[in-house]
Chain A
């Protein structure tokens, strides 16, 4: 049976699904535990040992909750929006390589256009937020949705441009090949500016603090999810956490060598060590998300736009220009 051609993809899909759900569910717990640690509280500690079963308890609670929809909301879009916010993030997870087994990448879909796939599908998440905001027919929700979409598209550009530099260095759009190209030297050493831009934009792209303008409870109460309750609210939440997981994984793959263990060739690394290295790297950035959220104040909306359009955009463009010049000179040097 293990020789069947469908065997490995099937196992990979199940493993990836389990990894995604446990990472996202774990993140909800980690967020609450770490914030409690930062704020000198205990955090959830009633359900299971150290509150470890809290995500499960939350899920059960959400399933049993009544789902409210305002009379004046658009019922179809109101129902679809949470799914639309959640699905793109889940879909992009399929492109993340977690290591190499028998010389083949451990990934659901080893796409040749992996980078473009993640960018294109990941950006669809904004639809869920703006449709949710609009369909609620609530002014706070609408403002939250508009803010979120304006913010996500603004930062998308810097995100793509910082990736273009990485693509130029790696010469491939395939995420597994980008990992392999970093066997000797992680991209963060070659492209520190791009890594910095990516770090900032990944906070903005996932609508996380200090860029969480979609929610922004001091002004907009709950932002785009003001009217949402029960499982629909939970799906927005889940979508945000999975997007964080994907972005952290993306960061690890593109700039920090993915499954590469330092000072060890990828080919010589056992598959479990590679996967562990990948998860550790993702964990670092996931913790960074949480740490930043509970430490910093929030930007104002216009400051966010200035940062995106006036700082990050020219910075990533300049970085790209420098990268291009270096690559071209490199080529000339090689030719002579």
Chain B
């Protein structure tokens, strides 16, 4: 297949998979078979694009003209390639996990669940490969809308409330801030194509550029920059596989991916560095990192703690991109992958604990490591990676960010990175300690590990966290290609 056909396939495979899942809804085994086959086929399509991109090629495809002068078009560059690889690779693992979780917990509406999941992946691929801001915005909104049924899956009052917050924050920021920013960019630059070096250079005064940057950064609500982060903890009412793949990987990474895209390809690193209009951004991102970590520290609910940890980790990416040095931008890109494998492991573990033991709070986890050694072992690996302990994946991205901050001479960023590492350790290590070294409370029904598909999935992602730094040639090369 030609690269252009592969791009079509990356969007069409999950979309067609959604139809297939809907048609197979009556036969659960066949339905899950369709999900797994779709996920496998999607990864194959994405991988088939990789050699071209690594060789410096930029496969592209233009479908039709959405507005005069603005096409619905796709272009695969290194950043999008990395994002697509992470999302499609983890979808397979997540699908195996979902089968164990959804059946283990006897969830209702499973067909709808898998259909929306496949559609969410199609939207994610659209975001990853979009050639211009309008195409990106189209799939960005689509991702919000197709994940809403997943957030409100349980249909009770809590899910409805969570769904309202989710939609309110994500559509609210994107319509009220991001859309005007995109239209203003079109009015100023006369193009919306992602271009190395940016499209806004010399089109407006520094203050206008600064204002636009604010519209973009807060308008990309999926990046969960404070004060627009509340939707992420609210989305935790969803079944855990949704929290794992969508609200630790696809949706939130679509947010920070868009942030990096906008900084690098719309504004241009040099444009922003030249006019100092981005100076406020590291401060906001730094505040989000620290504040979200403190909230995570105070949350007893495990999924809520993980959600606030995600809010904090997303702002690492924003902070690193805002430092505007090549190393920090590469670190930002690599952190998209590193945080993805680490955090999905932690969510898998939270779901496994819920399925096997019915526990949701951190304070209930005393001694659980003795009953679920594999799960808690994987949890430990994921947590250590996110704290940044070498040689795990999170260490590598943090190392690059530290170097970038030093390069930029930004002491505030250095301080934030150091402080947040301590906070990460403070909210993750007590869980590990309690699980393995505290005695389990007496009088509980005995339980073992969660169903095997879940355990297998979380071991695979924990393994990926440990292996990624040693197999980092591909992601690092892609990350460096973005930073230029």
Do A and B come together as binding partners? no
B contacts, CB < 8 Å to A? none
A contacts, CB < 8 Å to B? none
